[in-house]
């Protein structure tokens, strides 16, 4: 979000309504939010207009409702840009399965999808659909794409559905959506990490053995990238040092791609003097080959012995600096999670260590986290990594303020 945008667009919500019975709840939502001092600009899809009349939303919000991409009343004929620039936040409620599919694929064939694609502000969606449509792999695939793109997904809830079936897919109630919008505006009011410089390491490292082979691990980089994204959302200037992954980096200040632990250490050491908070998420290989063959090692019937030497511990190197930044470590354990993690926190001198079970977390889109700090243990129940990352950033910011680094 640009500075000018964030200053002028405070507490102005663009309420998008797509086609679904739950559209009736948006009338109450508009009423509650307007009473709470949020101004609302409503944009409805053609299907939404079949469920609730634009006049209802116009009356409740006091603003004309937009439905048409080709509305010639827009001064410059660019309603999609004008409306999205004025918004401090966009909430699409209900978000139908069809709307979610379009959004996930960057389609823009009506006013609301075009506004969402052209936005430079946070986007929240409240899905509402039949339980089978919700659990369909296509819908779930689209939702995980949206989560990765930083879209916040509110609900849905389980319960009685308009079609007579019972299950997951009911849109959240107006009061719950109103609270989520208020909360999102509060976060936007005071970016937690404004003026802070954050360095995140992510992904695996790759330790060459010969010209074509190497040692690596199954880390996907998803948690590190999610943390980098959450830190950007919290207003930090983020540097991401990433081992080899298939992920597109979020909009960070700087992204440095590395291969080996040595490269990663070098990149971190180059950046670290400027850094306030160091979040070491990378799954750095513990060992590397003592010698790297410049040629491909030839296959033979003989036993091949590989001599491995330990890699530098990047996190320990940083946390043992004379005046280290606030250091956060990660521990992926296969057993005795709390005991091993607590030991690691002490050994590496970390104010905060985040532990998870390697078999659950590696490569997955979700994780369950155990946070260990000077105040004890704090659990984050299983949730998408981007949501965990946002919780973690709040936790890190609170600890950082306490320690007054």
What positions carry a catalytic annotation?
A: 163
Interatomic CA distance for residues 209 and 260, integer angstroms: 11
Nearer to ligand C5P, 122 or 221 (CB): 221
Candidates 128-136, 282-290, 355-363, 367-375 — which segment interacts with ligand C5P by CB under 6 A?
A: 282-290
Q: Are strands 352-357 and 326-333 parallel, antiparallel or unpaired?
A: parallel
User: In the bound complex, what is the minimum distance in angstroms from residue 311's beta carbon to ligand C5P?
Assistant: 5
Nearer to ligand C5P, 179 or 368 (CB): 368
| 330 makes contact with ligand C5P (CB under 6 A) | yes
Nearer to ligand C5P, 127 or 329 (CB): 329
Of the residues 26, 96, 229, 311, which one makes contact with ligand C5P according to CB under 6 A:
311
Interatomic CA distance for residues 380 and 373, integer angstroms: 14
User: In the bound complex, what is the minimum distance in angstroms from residue 314's beta carbon to ligand C5P?
Assistant: 3
Q: Work out the number of other CB atoms within 10 angstroms of the CB of residue 55.
A: 9
| 329 makes contact with ligand C5P (CB under 6 A) | yes
Nearer to ligand C5P, 231 or 314 (CB): 314
Of the residues 112, 146, 184, 261, which one makes contact with ligand C5P according to CB under 6 A:
261
Q: By rule CB under 6 A, what string of x and - marks binding of each residue 341-380 to ligand C5P?
A: ---x------------------------------------
Q: Work out the number of other CB atoms within 10 angstroms of the CB of residue 140.
A: 12
Selection from 193, 201, 297 nearest residue 243 by Cα: 201
For 285-334, list the strands marked E by DSSP: 287-289, 308-310, 326-333
Nearer to ligand C5P, 281 or 393 (CB): 281
User: In the bound complex, what is the minimum distance in angstroms from residue 353's beta carbon to ligand C5P?
Assistant: 8
Interatomic CA distance for residues 86 and 188, integer angstroms: 15
Of the residues 173, 262, 269, 313, which one makes contact with ligand C5P according to CB under 6 A:
313
Of the residues 84, 139, 280, 356, which one makes contact with ligand C5P according to CB under 6 A:
280
Element (H, E) at 327: strand 326-333
Of the residues 331, 371, 392, 396, which one makes contact with ligand C5P according to CB under 6 A:
331
Angle at 391 between CA 99 and CA 321, to 5 degrees: 135
| 125 makes contact with ligand C5P (CB under 6 A) | no
| 204 makes contact with ligand C5P (CB under 6 A) | no
Nearer to ligand C5P, 287 or 405 (CB): 287
Interatomic CA distance for residues 30 and 157, integer angstroms: 20
Nearer to ligand C5P, 9 or 355 (CB): 355
What pairs with residue 280 in β-bridges? 201, 329
Selection from 312, 212, 206, 219 nearest residue 259 by Cα: 206
| 282 makes contact with ligand C5P (CB under 6 A) | yes
| 315 makes contact with ligand C5P (CB under 6 A) | yes
Confirm if 240 and 224 have CB atoms less than 8 A apart: yes
End-to-end CA distance of the chain: 28
Site size for ligand C5P (CB under 6 A): 15
Q: What DSSP assignment string belongs to 76-117?
A: TS-HHHHHHHH-SEEEEEEE-HHHHHHHHTT---SHHHHHHH
Q: Residue 282 in 3-state DSSP?
A: coil
Of the residues 314, 352, 369, 370, which one makes contact with ligand C5P according to CB under 6 A:
314
User: In the bound complex, what is the minimum distance in angstroms from residue 153's beta carbon to ligand C5P?
Assistant: 28
- Residue given tokens 């879209």 in the structure block: 151
Residues that bind ligand C5P (CB under 6 A): 201, 261, 280-282, 284, 286, 311, 313-315, 329-331, 344
């Amino acid at each position: 979000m640009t500075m000018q945008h964030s200053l002028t667009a405070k507490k102005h919500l663009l309420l998008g309504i797509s086609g679904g019975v739950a559209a009736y709840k948006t009338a109450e939502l508009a009423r509650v939010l307007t009473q709470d001092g949020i101004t609302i600009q409503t944009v409805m899809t053609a299907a939404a207009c079949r469920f609730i009349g634009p006049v209802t939303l116009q009356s409740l919000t006091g603003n004309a409702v937009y439905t048409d991409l080709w509305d010639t009343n827009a001064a410059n004929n660019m309603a999609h840009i004008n409306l999205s620039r004025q918004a401090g936040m966009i909430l699409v409620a209900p978000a139908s399965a069809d709307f979610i599919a379009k959004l996930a694929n960057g389609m823009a064939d009506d006013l609301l999808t075009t506004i969402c694609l052209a936005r430079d502000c946070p986007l929240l969606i409240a899905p509402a659909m039949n339980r089978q449509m919700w659990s369909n792999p296509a819908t779930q695939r689209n939702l995980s794409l949206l989560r990765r793109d930083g879209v916040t997904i509110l609900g849905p809830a389980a319960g009685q559905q308009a079609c007579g079936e019972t299950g997951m897919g009911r849109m959240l109630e107006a009061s719950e959506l109103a609270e989520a919008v208020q909360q999102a505006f509060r976060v936007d009011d005071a970016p937690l990490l404004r003026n802070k410089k954050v360095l995140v390491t992510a992904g695996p490292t790759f330790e060459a053995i010969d010209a074509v082979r190497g040692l690596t691990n199954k880390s996907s980089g998803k948690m590190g990238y999610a943390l980098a994204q959450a830190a950007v959302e919290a207003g930090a200037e983020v540097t991401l040092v990433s081992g080899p992954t298939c992920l597109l980096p979020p909009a960070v200040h700087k992204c440095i791609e590395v291969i080996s632990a040595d490269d990663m250490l070098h990149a971190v050491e180059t950046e670290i003097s400027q850094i306030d908070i160091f979040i070491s998420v990378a799954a750095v290989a513990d060992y590397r080959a003592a010698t790297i063959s410049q040629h491909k090692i030839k296959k033979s019937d003989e036993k091949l012995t590989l001599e491995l030497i330990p890699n530098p511990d990047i996190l320990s190197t940083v946390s043992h600096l004379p005046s280290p930044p606030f250091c956060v470590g990660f521990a992926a354990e296969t057993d005795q999670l709390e005991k091993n993690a607590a030991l690691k926190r002490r050994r590496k001198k970390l104010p905060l260590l985040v532990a998870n079970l390697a078999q659950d977390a590696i490569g997955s889109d979700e994780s369950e986290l155990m946070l260990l700090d000077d105040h004890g243990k704090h659990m984050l129940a299983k949730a998408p990594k981007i949501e965990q990352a946002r919780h973690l950033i709040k936790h890190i910011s609170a600890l950082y303020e306490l320690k007054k680094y």
